[in-house]
Every structure is written in C-alpha cells, then in structure tokens.
Amino acid sequence: PVNRIDAFPLERRDVEVLHTESDRVLVRGTIQEGDRVIVGGTHRLVPGQLVRPIANQKF
C-alpha cells in the first residue's frame, strides 16, 4: 500500500485468457500468483492511478 487508505498504484499487464470454468480463469501473461486483478471497468483506469481493493465479488 502506498498510503493510509490501503490504495495501490495500477500497472497494466497484458494477459491471454486460455480457459474459463465456473469462478476460475486460466491465463498466460506477466502476472504472478497473488497479484490482484481488476476484471471490470478497466476502460476508466490509467497506469499509476491509486485504487483500493474491495471484498471478492462473484461475476
């Protein structure tokens, strides 16, 4: 976190979705286990923008 509100700076990572099943997605790309991933609303985001994680939601 970079400040008191537990915000994190965004960094763009390109991934390829290889397979989806139920609530799991298999991807190939430059992400590591444990990385947080934004799955919606990415068109409104810019690199370096601070974001706060929210509780896991089912999509």
Q: Please give the torsion angle defined by the CA atoms of residues 11, 28, 16 and 22, in that order, rounded to the nearest 10 degrees.
A: -100
**Model confidence pLDDT, tens digit, residues 26-43:** 999 998 888 888 888 889
Q: Which long-range contacts (CB under 8 A, 24 or more apart) does 21-24 make?
A: 23/58
For residue 35, the one-letter residue type is D
- For residue 2, pLDDT beyond 70: no
Residue 12 CB neighbours (<10 A): 10
Enter the pTM of the model.
Answer: 0.59
Q: pLDDT band at residue 49, thresholds of 50, 70 and 90?
A: very high
Three-class DSSP category at 31: coil
Q: What is the pLDDT of residue 38?
A: 87
Q: pLDDT band at residue 57, thresholds of 50, 70 and 90?
A: low
